[in-house]
Structure 1
Amino acid sequence: MLKEFKTFIARGNVIDLAVGVIIGSAFTAIVTSLTKNLINPLIGIFLGKIDLSGLVLTVGQAHFRYGDFLNAVINFIIIAFVVFLLVKAINKLMPTKETDAEPAPAPNQETVVLTEIRDLLKQQQETTQHRSQD
């Protein structure tokens, strides 16, 4: 069982996934800081409030913290845009795998004869149709 676990962990996919999760969480912290310390103050210039998380709608006893939701949406948009730019840059840098399309093999004699027969039958059918219309 230990050997199977060792084999499982040694697979590239598991290690790649672990690295992706670690980098993703660090990246999320950076984007959260960017939103909190740079984007929110810019938005605050127009809205009059620097901290969007303080925006709350109160109805009766319920408190709807839509400012936190707006922060989450801004974080998502920034992360999605940066990931888009990264994927675009990687696709530009990485060469695309061109499939070496081999030319179609030359048809054998039987195929050539059958094709000619098909074309002759088609011609004959068209000729018959034209005569019947006249």
Structure 2
Amino acid sequence: MSDYERMVQQFMAALVARAGGVDATVALIGARLGAEPSKGSISKRLAGQLSWPIEEVWALEDALGDAPVSRWRGRALPEEGAKVNLLQALGASSRETGEAQGAVMEMIAGEGSKERALKELAEAKEAIEALIGQVEGSRRG
């Protein structure tokens, strides 16, 4: 058994236990895929005698709302997820700073309150701090 298979087997054994055992796992996978795997196949997969088909891995992860195998494999991917997070943080900070500037301009013009301007500035500061955190956590540069 390869290291990959061993890791998948360990993750799946934990998911099967969380599901409530082999019978529950068969039912959960069957409900997601439209056809139940046999109890014997699940038992053999747990024993390491058979590999787990990816569609059954995904089905059980989806059914339980936890995706340890997918997360583990996702770590091997390029930083696409990190790029998305950076872009989201950038967009949020841009939006919040624009709202803060607008609130300050309204206050200056006598059309807005100091409280609203301070609230918008606090939200902008929070968004900028989140962006800083994303940049600091990035593996880029």
- Structure with higher Rg: it is 1
Q: What band does the TM-score fall into relative to the shorter chain? A: under 0.3
Greater percentage in strand: 1
TM-score (norm 1): 0.27
